[in-house]
Structures are given as structure tokens and as C-alpha cells.
A and B are shown apart, each in its own frame.
Chain A
Amino acid sequence: MSGDLVYLDYAASTPVDERVSVLMTEVMTREFANPSSTHAAGRAATARIEAAAEQLAGLLNTAPSKLVWTSGATESDNLAIMGAARFRANKGRHVISMRTEHKAVTDALDALVKQGFDVTWVEPAANGVLALPTLEAAIRDDTQLVSIMHVNNETGAIQDIASIGEMCRKRDILFHVDAAQSVGKLPIDLGSLPVDLMSMTAHKVYGPKGVGALYIDEKPGCHVTPMLFGGGQQRRLRPGTMPAPLIAAFGLAAEIAEGRMADDYAHLEGLRNRLWNGIRNIAGVSQNGDPDNTFPGILNVSIEGIEGESLLLALEPICVATGSACNSQSQEPSYVLRALGRSDALAQSAIRFSFGRPSSDEDIDFAICRYTEAANRLRRLAPGAAA
């Protein structure tokens, strides 16, 4: 990161932990053999993968055998949704998801619709949280899959995945959770949570880009039809040479996250509160999402009378997001915030600040100062403002 930049976009990506980087380089350069090879070097690479599975499984309190390595959360979401829907298609072709899901989920579901599946989009309440009666009302006799994210990538809203999972389990409906924003950050106990499929990625938790995982519960009726073909790796669910360096790195990142989760949470909470307290009194500022039920690593704020793209430029050198990073090439108002009932103007003015381990009080104080200045300046430039 350039020394001039103040990075507050950790929900988009995190830096690789130094220890993770060292391990990854070591495996890349010294234990580079193909894990599918049966010779000693191949077995060494396999051992790295098995160790990583133990580490990630430890973080999630599950069995390593329930984890499938992927290229990231987008692939995990696609494999879970497309794979589970196709696997259960003979029982029914109805899927339920939420309007505020990540594009990796919504676009996968749109693709399913083109293949003859039926998707019901349930709306969250204004605080971003899905009410259980809303979900219950959408369930049909032919519903086979429900896909609801754990922590929203734009607002940080936390869904009650335990209660949603219970509702699904009672009806023999598979439940998929996109946990890209929560794995390693919030406690997740897959030994007790009624979750059948869970997507995750390394680069949101101080691991490298290019590796993720899909948790698939081992129970009758819970399976995915593979999307890739070409080898017998990973029980043919996700064939292809496994990237041992990336997987080893993800494993270590997971282990580190497990060890410092409570400290990380407290750190993020302090930063979020400091920033919110510093800007909340600016006229027209409002928080998007439920302040009492939001992951503290994310603070999404709108401001009346300010144009979002100009605000983003005026905030430089602070690196923040308007929409999610995956969608920020477009300056259209966030579909997530629109789904929460925000007006186009408020949604368009939204800025997502997200914090990480390296974030400091100084970063936050700079952001408060910059945001205040930018808001004042853009208001002075706007028609209707006093000269």
C-alpha cells in the first residue's frame, strides 16, 4: 500500500498476514509438487493441504472432510447454489434468496432461472435483517434451497442464520450461507449450526486471493452436482490440481483468525464507534443498516444532498467503497441499499468504510476530518448553498 493512502476498504480485501505470506512462499518454492502425485514430494504437498483443512475445520468446528477447496467465495457460491439446485431438481425447482445478497449469489440464481428454476426473492426489513415470517411465507412445497448470507458485504447487517437454518431443516430444505464476510471474524460453530452449505474465501481474512472453500454437510440429501470436470480430486466435486500454497495459506490465516477473533472484534468495534461518533452530527448523515445488529468491521453511511461519486473523489487519499467492490465499476445506486428502502439519492451518496487489523485511531481521525471537509465543500459547490 502506498504510504499516502489511508485504506479503509477491508471488506473488499485484506492484506496477507506476514506469517501467511512466509508459509505460502515456502510451500510455493519448496513443496511445489502436484498434490495428486503419489511420490514423496506430492505427499508433502498433500500433507500441507490436509493440515490446512484441519486448521479451517478447527475454526468452524467441523470435520475437514466436509470442506471443498475452491478459487474463492464466488466459485463456492456458484457450486453451492447451482450444484445443490441441480442435485435436488427432481424433488423440486424452487429456491429462495434475498434481494441484498452478493452478486455471486444473485447472478448464480439468475442463471438458474434461465434453466427453468423458480426463485423467490424475499425482502429484508429496513434494517437489512430478514424477518423469519417473511421467509416462512415464501417457502413452498417444492422449495429445495434457501440461500441467505451471514454478514452483508455492504452494510454489515448480520442475519440470524441459526433460526433460518432451523426453519429450513424442519422442512428438509437445504440452507446455504455466504459467509465471505464473517468466517474468521464472527464465531461460527458448524457443529451446532443447522447450515448445510457455507461459502468462504481467504482474502477477506488476511489470506491470499484465489482460494476459498465450500462447506458441504455430510448428510443424506445434501450434495452438490459438480460444475467442473477433469479429474478425481476432491471427490470429483471440484476437480483440478489443488493449489497447495494457497490452501496452506488459507489454513494458517484461519488458525490465526481463530486465535485473535475476540481481540479483532473489539478493535473493529472501537474503530467503528470512533468513526460514527465523529461524523454522526454532520447534517443529513445516516447509517445504513441496524446499528445494534451490524458487524463492526463495516460502517455504511449516506448523506443528504451529496453526490456519491464526487464524495468518493473528494475523500481521497482515503480508499473506501461506494457499492461493494465487485460492483463499484458502476456508479448506479447500490441495489442493496435500494432494497432497504433508501431513496436513489441517499443510496447513491453511500460510502462504505470498512476496517481491519492494521487500521488505527489515526486513520479514523483522518477519515472524520476528510469526510467532514468533503461534505462541507461539496455542499458549498451545490446549487442552493449560500455563497
Chain B
Amino acid sequence: MSSDPYSPLVRSLFSTAEHSGDLPGATCASADTQGVNVQLAASVEGDKITALRWKAWGCPHLLAATEAFCAEYEGGTASNLLEFSAGDLMKKLAVPVTKTGRILVLEDVVRSLGQAIRDEST
């Protein structure tokens, strides 16, 4: 339906949520603000992020965006996270402009995670 507020990709990511969960002993970052709660965890070997997991409380767009982030950046580096911008993800998932604030919370958490990984490696 054209009035569907969720793109097929959002629906798919929301329903699979393959990267949801915890990583015991991993590097973490989180934020609880703007009516959403996002928690990211990363396992790192050397400079490489070997696993990313998430937990989140929020709307389907936020959960889908968080899942999309983990799927895309697993295997990347802390530098990749520090350069992460939510804009591309919002376009890809067709997130309504009214939800920009929520997705920016994810952006903040991703960058915090990147910084935490970098701090731990030095």
C-alpha cells in the first residue's frame, strides 16, 4: 500500500533483527534520550570489528536503522564508526523527517562506540 509508513526494507530489518542481543565483555556505548534507548556492543580484534550487537527501545524505524547499521558495519573499523552519518541510512530506509531526532541518537551512539573502541586500543 502506498500509505504504508514502513518501507519493505524497514519491515524486513524489523522482523529479522539478526544482530540484536548482547556481546559479553564487548565494548559498549548507549544513550537513553529523545524517547528512545539504544545500546550497541562491539567485539574487536586488532582494528577490526568482528561482531556488532544491539538492543533498542523505540519505533520500528529506529530498530530497523540500528539493525541496518550493525549489518553494514560489522567487519569495519573504529574509524568507520567515527565517520558514521545517519543521513545515508535515513534515505536508504525512507525514515520520515519527523523521526530525524531518533535516528540522530543512533548516530551519537555509533560515534561514541567508535571512540570507545579507539580509546581502548590506545
**Residue B70, interface by CB 8 Å:** no
* B40-83 interface with A by 8 A CB criterion: 55-60, 63
| A380 to B24 alpha-carbon distance, docked (Å) | 16
> Are A309 and B60 in contact (CB-based, < 8 A)?
yes
Interface string of B10-23 (1 = CB under 8 A from A): 01001001001110
**Residue B39, interface by CB 8 Å:** yes
Closest-by-CB residue of A relative to B21 is A387
> Are A307 and B59 in contact (CB-based, < 8 A)?
yes
Interface size on A, residues (CB 8 A): 14
* A258-309 interface with B by 8 A CB criterion: 305, 307, 309
Partner of A387, one of B6, B22, B56, B57: B22
Q: Which residues of A contact B38 (CB under 8 A)?
A: 383
Q: Which residues of A contact B112 (CB under 8 A)?
A: none
> Are A381 and B20 in contact (CB-based, < 8 A)?
yes
> Are A383 and B59 in contact (CB-based, < 8 A)?
no
> Are A310 and B63 in contact (CB-based, < 8 A)?
yes
Closest-by-CB residue of A relative to B30 is A383
> Are A307 and B30 in contact (CB-based, < 8 A)?
no
> Are A382 and B6 in contact (CB-based, < 8 A)?
no
Given contacts A313-B14, A387-B22, contact A381 B60 (CB under 8 A): no
Given contacts A313-B6, A313-B14, contact A385 B55 (CB under 8 A): yes
Q: Which residues of B contact A384 (CB under 8 A)?
A: 55
> Are B63 and A381 in contact (CB-based, < 8 A)?
yes
Closest-by-CB residue of B relative to A377 is B17
Q: Which residues of B contact A380 (CB under 8 A)?
A: 20
| A383 to B41 alpha-carbon distance, docked (Å) | 11
Given contacts A310-B63, A313-B6, contact A383 B57 (CB under 8 A): yes
**Residue A65, interface by CB 8 Å:** no
Q: Which residues of B contact A305 (CB under 8 A)?
A: 57
| A313 to B59 alpha-carbon distance, docked (Å) | 9
Closest-by-CB residue of B relative to A384 is B55
**Residue A331, interface by CB 8 Å:** yes
Closest-by-CB residue of B relative to A378 is B57
| A310 to B30 alpha-carbon distance, docked (Å) | 20
> Are B22 and A310 in contact (CB-based, < 8 A)?
no
Closest-by-CB residue of A relative to B17 is A381
Q: Which residues of A contact B20 (CB under 8 A)?
A: 380-381
**Residue B115, interface by CB 8 Å:** no
| A331 to B58 alpha-carbon distance, docked (Å) | 12
| A5 to B4 alpha-carbon distance, docked (Å) | 15
Q: Which residues of A contact B32 (CB under 8 A)?
A: 383
Q: How far is the CB of B100 from chain A (nearest CB, A)?
A: 14
Q: Which residues of B contact A382 (CB under 8 A)?
A: 37, 55-57
Q: Which residues of B contact A309 (CB under 8 A)?
A: 59-60
> Are B55 and A310 in contact (CB-based, < 8 A)?
no
> Are A331 and B56 in contact (CB-based, < 8 A)?
no
Q: Which residues of B contact A385 (CB under 8 A)?
A: 55
Q: Which residues of B contact A331 (CB under 8 A)?
A: 59
Q: Which residues of B contact A307 (CB under 8 A)?
A: 57-59
Q: How far is the CB of A322 from chain B (nearest CB, A)?
A: 11
Closest-by-CB residue of B relative to A330 is B98
Q: How far is the CB of A311 from chain B (nearest CB, A)?
A: 10
Q: How far is the CB of A356 from chain B (nearest CB, A)?
A: 22
Q: Which residues of A contact B58 (CB under 8 A)?
A: 307, 310
Q: Which of B11, B32, B59 has the most CB of A within 10 A?
A: B59
* A310-330 interface with B by 8 A CB criterion: 310, 313-314
Q: Which residues of A contact B22 (CB under 8 A)?
A: 387
* A323-354 interface with B by 8 A CB criterion: 331
Q: How far is the CB of B82 from chain A (nearest CB, A)?
A: 23
Q: How far is the CB of B84 from chain A (nearest CB, A)?
A: 20
Closest-by-CB residue of B relative to A306 is B57
* A368-387 interface with B by 8 A CB criterion: 380-385, 387
Q: Which residues of A contact B24 (CB under 8 A)?
A: 387
Partner of B37, one of A314, A383, A387: A383
Q: How far is the CB of B2 from chain A (nearest CB, A)?
A: 15
Subset of 27 A-B contacts with CB under 8 Å: A305-B57, A307-B57, A307-B58, A309-B60, A310-B59, A310-B60, A310-B63, A313-B11, A313-B14, A313-B60, A314-B14, A331-B59, A380-B20, A381-B17, A381-B20, A381-B56, A381-B57, A381-B63, A382-B56, A382-B57, A383-B30, A383-B32, A383-B38, A383-B55, A383-B57, A385-B55, A387-B22
Knowing that A384-B55, A387-B22 are A-B contacts, what are 16 other residue pairs whose CB atoms are under 8 Å apart, sorted by A's residue number?
Answer: A305-B57, A310-B63, A380-B20, A381-B57, A382-B37, A382-B55, A383-B30, A383-B32, A383-B37, A383-B39, A383-B55, A383-B56, A383-B57, A385-B55, A387-B21, A387-B24
| 3 tightest A-B CB contacts, nearest first | A387-B22, A383-B39, A382-B57
